[in-house]
Amino acid sequence: MLETQARRLNRSRLLHSKVLEPCLALEPLSLKEKHLAKLRAGDWIDLGEHLPRLQIRRAGRRVAEVRCEGSECFVSRLCDGEAEIPERKRVLVESRIAVVPESEVREGGRLELPDPVLEQILLFVGEEPLAIARLVRGGNGHYALEIRERIDG
């Protein structure tokens, strides 16, 4: 019961977060617009053989890199906040995991994350929510985001 409430609170905070609030996220994905339009519940987005890097993002820009040791995550280094630019006919999709308090966005800052953290990842295109996904590892050894629910129009 408590876990369900924590997930709902985290989802609500992510959906209603202000653009300048820092969020823990996976590195952005660059997807074709056609592929994005066809995504439905149950679809998988292949992420490759390596677990995507965690970062803290604010207003569509990377502001810090995050490393995890066991169940604890820390800010490993601050970044200059450069924005990624998608290739032609592609869209950047941000995978937000949790809103991070501003006080934790410092080198060595310990992040308090909702549990289980990778079961509810909100996908955004810009500031528009797209879907809810979870990180899975497929039988072929590849990581993927499994779309659980489409939440855009």
- Each residue's pLDDT, cut to its tens digit, for the chain (153 residues) gives 555 665 666 666 666 666 678 989 999 999 998 988 899 999 999 999 988 899 999 888 899 999 988 778 899 999 987 778 878 889 999 999 988 888 889 998 888 776 677 888 999 998 888 999 999 988 788 899 999 999 875
b or e along 28-58 (b: 16 or more beta carbons within 10 Å of the residue's beta carbon)?
Answer: bbebeeeebeebeeebebebeeeebebbbbb
CB 17 within 8 A of CB 11: no
Question: Would you list the domain boundaries of the chain?
Answer: 1-52+84-100+114-150
**pTM to 2 decimals?**
0.83
